[in-house]
Chains A and B, each alone.
Chain A
Amino acid sequence: MKEPKRSSDFAAGTVDHADIVIVGNGIAGLTAAIEARRLEPEKSVVIVTSQSHPTINTPALKQFATGKLTREQLLAYPAGTERLQRIHVVSAYAEEIHAQEGYLRLAGGQGFGYGALLLATGSRPTGLPSDMPGQDFDGVLTLHRLYDYLDLRRRLNEVEEAVVIGGGPHAIETVMGLLYWGIRVHWLIRSETFMPRMLDRQASDMVLEGARRAGAKVYTETEVLGIVGRVGSVAGVVTTQQQMLPCQLVLVCTGTTPVTTLARTCDLPMKYNRGGILVDDQLRTSARNIYAAGDVAALRDPLTGKYAPRAQWYAAVLQGRAAAAAMTGATDGENFGVSWHATRLGDLSMLTVGNPLAWPEEEVVSLPEKRKGSYCLLSLVDDRLVGYLSLGAAQPDSLAIKRIIDEGLSVRDIQKDLLRGEFDARKYFSGKRTYAARRMITTGQLPTPMPPMPGIRSGQRRASSRPSGPMPAVARAESQKDDTAVRQPAVLPATARVVPQPGDTAARMNAIQRPQPAMVPQRGDTAARMNAVPGPQPGMEAQRGAPTGYSNARPPEKRARAEESEAWVNAPPPVVPQGNPAAAWLNDAPPASPGGLAPRRTEDLPRPATEPLVRPTSNGSRSVTGPRPPVRQADDQRRRIADQKTLISPDASPAPGGRRGAQGTEEIKLVTRSPERQFIAPPGARSSQPEKDSNPHPSRSLWHYTDKHPAVKRQKHV
């Protein structure tokens, strides 16, 4: 093995070096890279990864398994984003961290120096215990990566029966996916209920009942003793209930484990446990200049005080952004709030915010509410919400509930609505705004002083591009961000070589964060492109104006965020400026229909004759008037309708643009122009069912994508 490069080589520039190095190109890694590029347009950002495909939407792999998505549609960011953002991707396996000298050793012995290092190595499936007999047989799979799902889709053809092991959301998604392909499924759950730490008995029963209704055989309190094989491939599973379940496929969905192999190689002590690398609220690990985000990072749970990873998509995005802000020095800590988990469990939507079951009985009031087909649980301390669990056909406004818990708002008035699942977040939060306005009228006090900063060039730009007069709340929050961002430090404080003292992270970080003379960044093409960004985009203004020096005051990023939320809550009722449609849209006024089109009821639209009858979808928390269009239906119903289709003769009542339309030659041509829409079933899967192969979604017929659709036709006149 080659001798690793010495640090003196870095100074000579002979060895690769980047200011920000990110290991892993999962969503946390790529989000951090993009965010770091946005905050620091001039720094070099490098992703080191051994994954051969770009970042994909890993939760959408379930849809990929059922053929609703093609491989191209899995991309998390448009192709070429890395190149556009000048993020260099190094295809290599990072073997060791030399934190004392600040470089990574890649496979092959090459060194790669870093200014700040982010570990976003993600997780791997836990799988079966290594002493389980027969776990090496062909047909025992874990579903975690894209390759696993490709493997699954290749195998679907020859599988009649399958066993799914595990009691989590991933397991039930897998069960439902297999049932979709008409495979008989045995589902083994170790505990008595489904997701015992998140759901209580009633909610778990609803989920399991739904799975049984869909056709799965559910075995609770059952574990695998061993796997039986024949000529190297799976033939069955022996359970603890003295049963032998014949199957050709065993899918292990027993959760994930953080990948800490790289962290273990660090030559400075880096704290980690079974749950991942321990990080603080700035996502710093215990080693200098090393951060962790995503599935591998174990954050402290504010409720229990234990360090645990949050292996969820939204958490990974948030952590990636926060890590980028911490690495560029743009933040001094992030409040991630309570945990938030929303997913679909079979036909039901689940939402857990906070941890409604973890609270001791004597401290909280639990309000369970069970109605037909839905279940809801509120955990309240006084009139504050601390945990929320909802299970039902419709999803409540999930992020709004997280916001209520995070901000500690009173739910006395909306308690009933929350229990019924009828909570209208928009109404509630705009009501908050009117309270602020009422206070302003009765007391004569302005809500929050929002003085404009001594405008550099941003003031001029705003004056020209935005209407004079009172700005709507959003625009004001934006402009504040612009103003506060001016004070943002333009460069990352250089890291002085100090003697590392493990454990005392905060003191060390303070010691090395020295203000630096600001450099004038050039206005690159990234900056020009990002100028069109509508939302609050702090940091972009800083490049345009002359950057001021480093300010020791409250970090601008945080202040901007705080003011933005205050402004949003406390803003007076918005005033609609006359004659400016954009401003009118921004306000809360009911928007005029775009382009002069009257909103059409979906029921008025012609439906193809093959369109199945569906159950009416419920409204949930939405406040849109008019009937809901048919959207989703149970798998068994879909399958039944797919079978019925064969009875319909091609020339009987041709559907407009439907795939059985008699005059549909033109539509067929149209469809062939978009091959990725045409392909839905995996190649060779279920060849005995030709109907399914052509389109397994009768409700989502190709009718949507043809010229015959009135909405599409109408846009030509706009």
Chain B
Amino acid sequence: MFKKKTGQQDVRLHKTGPQVIQELHACIGCNECLLACPALGEPMTIDVLNSETLGGPISRPVAQFARACYQCGACVAPCPVGLHRDAMMMWLKVRLLRSGWGE
């Protein structure tokens, strides 16, 4: 049904900042993305992840999670409101890069 057009288009793994912030505001916090995540090392709550993706200092667990995330996309399909957690994680990585990987 949903045929994958692999190789026909370049992969764009991120969205722009305004889009990511818009999606973060639409997040209902159901935790489905974190339950599906294979890279999540230690338990994390969605409120901390969301608020630190949006702004402010990035704590160590969130930084570790962002580094461990390898953009597999497992978080996107279970989202009940159709948001792209992978894009949010990419945005978090951008923020981490700016601050020297959170170290």
Compute how far the CA of A594 lies from the CA of B92 in the bound complex, rounded to whole angstroms.
12
Compute how far the CA of A73 lies from the CA of B33 in the bound complex, rounded to whole angstroms.
13
8 A Cβ contacts from A477-530 to B: 477-478, 529-530
- The reply to whether B18 and A536 form a contact with Cβ atoms under 8 Å apart is yes
Compute how far the CA of A705 lies from the CA of B45 in the bound complex, rounded to whole angstroms.
14
Residues of B within 8 A of A617 (CB): 77
Which of A95-103, A196-204, A272-280, A620-628 lies at the interface? A620-628
- The reply to whether A59 and B1 form a contact with Cβ atoms under 8 Å apart is no
- The reply to whether A715 and B25 form a contact with Cβ atoms under 8 Å apart is no
- The reply to whether A535 and B82 form a contact with Cβ atoms under 8 Å apart is no
- The reply to whether A590 and B13 form a contact with Cβ atoms under 8 Å apart is yes
Contact of B30 among A63, A317, A397, A626 (CB under 8 A): A63
User: What residue of chain B has the Cβ atom nearest to residue A371's Cβ?
Assistant: B1
- The reply to whether A582 and B12 form a contact with Cβ atoms under 8 Å apart is no
User: What residue of chain B has the Cβ atom nearest to residue A537's Cβ?
Assistant: B55
- The reply to whether A705 and B40 form a contact with Cβ atoms under 8 Å apart is yes
- The reply to whether A618 and B26 form a contact with Cβ atoms under 8 Å apart is no
8 A Cβ contacts from A601-635 to B: 601-602, 605, 617-620, 622-626, 628-629, 631-632
Given contacts A69-B31, A78-B48, A395-B81, contact A629 B55 (CB under 8 A): no
Contact of A623 among B12, B26, B55 (CB under 8 A): B12
Residues of B within 8 A of A624 (CB): 11, 13, 71-73, 76, 86
Compute how far the CA of A595 lies from the CA of B36 in the bound complex, rounded to whole angstroms.
22
User: Interface majority SS on B: helix, strand, loop or mixed?
Assistant: loop
- The reply to whether A536 and B17 form a contact with Cβ atoms under 8 Å apart is yes
- Residue-wise interface mask of B (6-48) relative to A, using a CB-CB cutoff of 8 A (1 in contact, 0 not): 1101111111111111110110111110011111111101111
Compute how far the CA of A623 lies from the CA of B42 in the bound complex, rounded to whole angstroms.
28
Compute how far the CA of A76 lies from the CA of B50 in the bound complex, rounded to whole angstroms.
9
- The reply to whether A535 and B21 form a contact with Cβ atoms under 8 Å apart is yes
Compute how far the CA of A557 lies from the CA of B44 in the bound complex, rounded to whole angstroms.
34
- Name the distance in Å between A126's Cβ and chain B's nearest Cβ: 22
User: What residue of chain A has the Cβ atom nearest to residue B48's Cβ?
Assistant: A78
- Name the distance in Å between A18's Cβ and chain B's nearest Cβ: 24
8 A Cβ contacts from B68-103 to A: 68-74, 76-84, 86, 90-91, 93-95, 97-99
User: Interface size of A by Cβ–Cβ distance < 8 Å?
Assistant: 100
- Name the distance in Å between B52's Cβ and chain A's nearest Cβ: 8
Compute how far the CA of A628 lies from the CA of B99 in the bound complex, rounded to whole angstroms.
31
Residues of A within 8 A of B81 (CB): 314, 342-343, 395, 398
Say yes or no: is A684 at the interface (Cβ < 8 Å to chain B). no
- Name the distance in Å between B30's Cβ and chain A's nearest Cβ: 4
User: What residue of chain A has the Cβ atom nearest to residue B74's Cβ?
Assistant: A629
- The reply to whether B76 and A629 form a contact with Cβ atoms under 8 Å apart is no
Residues of B within 8 A of A81 (CB): 51
- The reply to whether B2 and A75 form a contact with Cβ atoms under 8 Å apart is no
Residues of A within 8 A of B78 (CB): 631-632
Residues of B within 8 A of A344 (CB): 80
- Residue-wise interface mask of A (74-104) relative to B, using a CB-CB cutoff of 8 A (1 in contact, 0 not): 1111100100000000000000000000000
Residues of B within 8 A of A534 (CB): 17, 55, 91, 94-95, 98
Given contacts A623-B9, A715-B68, contact A395 B26 (CB under 8 A): no
Compute how far the CA of A15 lies from the CA of B71 in the bound complex, rounded to whole angstroms.
54
- Name the distance in Å between A633's Cβ and chain B's nearest Cβ: 11
Contact of B41 among A63, A424, A632, A715 (CB under 8 A): A715
- The reply to whether B35 and A590 form a contact with Cβ atoms under 8 Å apart is no
- The reply to whether B9 and A424 form a contact with Cβ atoms under 8 Å apart is yes
Residues of A within 8 A of B25 (CB): 314, 317-318, 321
User: Interface size of B by Cβ–Cβ distance < 8 Å?
Assistant: 73
- The reply to whether B73 and A622 form a contact with Cβ atoms under 8 Å apart is yes
Compute how far the CA of A112 lies from the CA of B23 in the bound complex, rounded to whole angstroms.
36
- The reply to whether B12 and A585 form a contact with Cβ atoms under 8 Å apart is no
Given contacts A77-B47, A594-B67, A676-B43, contact A704 B38 (CB under 8 A): yes
Given contacts A72-B45, A473-B16, contact A57 B77 (CB under 8 A): no
Residues of B within 8 A of A677 (CB): 43
- Name the distance in Å between A274's Cβ and chain B's nearest Cβ: 26
Given contacts A77-B47, A78-B47, A421-B2, contact A313 B84 (CB under 8 A): no
- Residue-wise interface mask of A (343-368) relative to B, using a CB-CB cutoff of 8 A (1 in contact, 0 not): 11000010100000000000000000
Given contacts A373-B1, A478-B17, A586-B94, contact A59 B38 (CB under 8 A): no
Residues of B within 8 A of A676 (CB): 43
Given contacts A530-B55, A705-B42, contact A585 B94 (CB under 8 A): yes
Residues of A within 8 A of B86 (CB): 624
- The reply to whether A620 and B55 form a contact with Cβ atoms under 8 Å apart is no
- Residue-wise interface mask of A (571-606) relative to B, using a CB-CB cutoff of 8 A (1 in contact, 0 not): 000000000011001101011011101011110010
Residues of B within 8 A of A712 (CB): 39, 41, 68
Residues of B within 8 A of A568 (CB): 16, 18
Contact of B38 among A629, A697, A718 (CB under 8 A): A629
Compute how far the CA of A59 lies from the CA of B90 in the bound complex, rounded to whole angstroms.
25
- The reply to whether B68 and A605 form a contact with Cβ atoms under 8 Å apart is no
- The reply to whether A585 and B32 form a contact with Cβ atoms under 8 Å apart is no
- Name the distance in Å between A369's Cβ and chain B's nearest Cβ: 11
User: What residue of chain B has the Cβ atom nearest to residue A427's Cβ?
Assistant: B9
Given contacts A629-B72, A674-B42, contact A704 B37 (CB under 8 A): yes
Say yes or no: is B4 at the interface (Cβ < 8 Å to chain A). yes
User: What residue of chain A has the Cβ atom nearest to residue B99's Cβ?
Assistant: A532
Say yes or no: is A132 at the interface (Cβ < 8 Å to chain B). no
- Residue-wise interface mask of A (43-60) relative to B, using a CB-CB cutoff of 8 A (1 in contact, 0 not): 000000000000001011
Given contacts A399-B26, A426-B12, contact A351 B82 (CB under 8 A): yes
Given contacts A397-B84, A617-B77, A711-B39, contact A59 B56 (CB under 8 A): no
Residues of B within 8 A of A697 (CB): 35
Residues of A within 8 A of B76 (CB): 620, 622, 624
Compute how far the CA of A179 lies from the CA of B83 in the bound complex, rounded to whole angstroms.
26
- Name the distance in Å between B47's Cβ and chain A's nearest Cβ: 5
Say yes or no: is A396 at the interface (Cβ < 8 Å to chain B). yes
- Name the distance in Å between B25's Cβ and chain A's nearest Cβ: 5
Residues of B within 8 A of A590 (CB): 10-13
Compute how far the CA of A568 lies from the CA of B79 in the bound complex, rounded to whole angstroms.
26
Residues of A within 8 A of B84 (CB): 397, 622
Say yes or no: is A416 at the interface (Cβ < 8 Å to chain B). no
- Name the distance in Å between B57's Cβ and chain A's nearest Cβ: 6
- The reply to whether B94 and A582 form a contact with Cβ atoms under 8 Å apart is yes
- Name the distance in Å between B103's Cβ and chain A's nearest Cβ: 11
10 smallest A-B Cβ distances: which pairs?
A395-B82, A57-B29, A533-B55, A398-B82, A59-B28, A344-B80, A618-B2, A342-B81, A711-B39, A314-B26
18 inter-chain pairs at a CB distance below 8 angstroms, sorted by A residue, are A57-B30, A68-B32, A73-B29, A77-B51, A399-B26, A420-B2, A426-B12, A533-B54, A533-B55, A585-B90, A591-B13, A618-B2, A624-B73, A625-B4, A629-B72, A631-B74, A632-B78, A718-B67
